[in-house]
């Protein structure tokens, strides 16, 4: 059965993904009347979505200007984002492992298959990767922790939209490595091994950080 979503939830997800794909670049003014026509969604839902996105850090509200797409981290700031991720995400995964429902494990298996099937655009892969990780963390039941992690994911994905550096059609070795990493995470989750899941999640995030640093021409991968 398909999960029911309100118009506000649909508007929020639609605008968020458009921002993270780079359709609306930092500084772009988000006018409800234009979004209403462009997205074919109600203005009330759009206004509520913009309010919610303001709380997530993707949108800023400025007097006399309205809602604008927020600036994403610069390369020197992305280190700080990852340092926080290194602390929060392994802990969330560790907390989630004993609690994660069998149904969620099945959904994660499906996501894992989708992540590596017919991917041609980097943002498509990173959206699925985001869903994979957040679905694990949500099983922890720590809602505030999950909100923080979601905001950090948005910042990294927004950064990637400004500095794209992956051609997934020719980067099969990179994808195979990540597929193996995520497969090991799934196996550890199914075996209910919290510490192993924690360590594998940390390794996976570090790989993402090192990948960004290498692509941006930085030799210093330390945080």
Percent of the chain at pLDDT exceeding 70: 91
Residue 103 near residue 178 (C-beta atoms within 8 A): no
Residue 155 near residue 84 (C-beta atoms within 8 A): no
Predicted structure pTM score: 0.87
Give the other-Cβ count within 10 Å of 33's Cβ.
9
Residue 167: what pLDDT? 60
CA distances (Å), 123 to each of 20, 27, 28, 214, in order? 8, 20, 20, 19
Segment 161-179 shows an average pLDDT of 72
Residue 220: what pLDDT? 62
Q: How confident is the model at residue 1 (pLDDT cuts 50, 70, 90)?
A: very low
CATH architecture of 7-69: Orthogonal Bundle (1.10)
Residue 68 near residue 27 (C-beta atoms within 8 A): yes
Is the pLDDT at 170 greater than 60, yes or no? no
Give just the sign of the alpha carbon dihedral 65, 163, 113, 107.
Answer: negative
Domains 7-69 and 75-215 share a fold: no
75-215, CATH topology level:
1.20.120
Segment 65-93 shows an average pLDDT of 95
Q: Any idea where the domains of the chain sit in the sequence?
A: 7-69, 75-215
Question: How many Å is the Cα radius of gyration of the chain?
Answer: 18
Residue 166: what pLDDT? 60
Residue 174 near residue 162 (C-beta atoms within 8 A): no
Nearest to 136 by CA among 100, 182, 175: 100
H helices present in 72-222, as ranges: 75-96, 102-115, 122-138, 143-162, 172-190, 194-215
Segment 148-171 shows an average pLDDT of 80
Round to whole Å and give the CA distance between 33 and 46. 9
Is the pLDDT at 221 greater than 50, yes or no? yes
Q: 60 phi and psi, to 5 degrees?
A: -120, 145
């Amino acid at each position: 059965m398909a999960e029911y979503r309100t118009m506000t939830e649909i508007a929020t997800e639609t605008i968020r993904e458009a921002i993270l794909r780079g359709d609306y670049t930092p500084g772009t003014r988000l006018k409800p009347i234009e979004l209403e026509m462009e997205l074919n969604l109600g203005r009330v839902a759009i206004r509520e979505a913009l309010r919610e996105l303001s709380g997530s850090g993707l949108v800023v509200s400025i007097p006399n200007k309205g809602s604008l797409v927020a600036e994403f981290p610069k390369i020197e700031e992305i280190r700080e984002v990852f340092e926080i991720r290194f602390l929060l995400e392994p802990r969330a995964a560790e907390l989630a492992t004993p609690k994660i429902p069998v149904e969620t494990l099945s959904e994660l298996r499906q996501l894992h298959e989708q992540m590596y099937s017919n991917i041609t655009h980097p943002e498509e892969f990173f959206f699925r990767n985001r869903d994979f990780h957040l679905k694990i963390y949500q099983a922890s039941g720590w809602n505030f922790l999950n909100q923080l992690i979601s905001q950090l994911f948005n910042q990294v994905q927004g950064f990637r939209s400004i500095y794209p550096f992956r051609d997934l059609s020719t980067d099969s070795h990179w994808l195979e490595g990540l597929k193996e990493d995520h497969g090991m995470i799934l196996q550890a989750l199914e075996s209910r091994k919290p510490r192993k899941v924690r360590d594998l999640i940390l390794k996976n995030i570090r790989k993402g950080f090192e990948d960004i640093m290498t692509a941006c021409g930085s030799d210093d991968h330390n945080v």
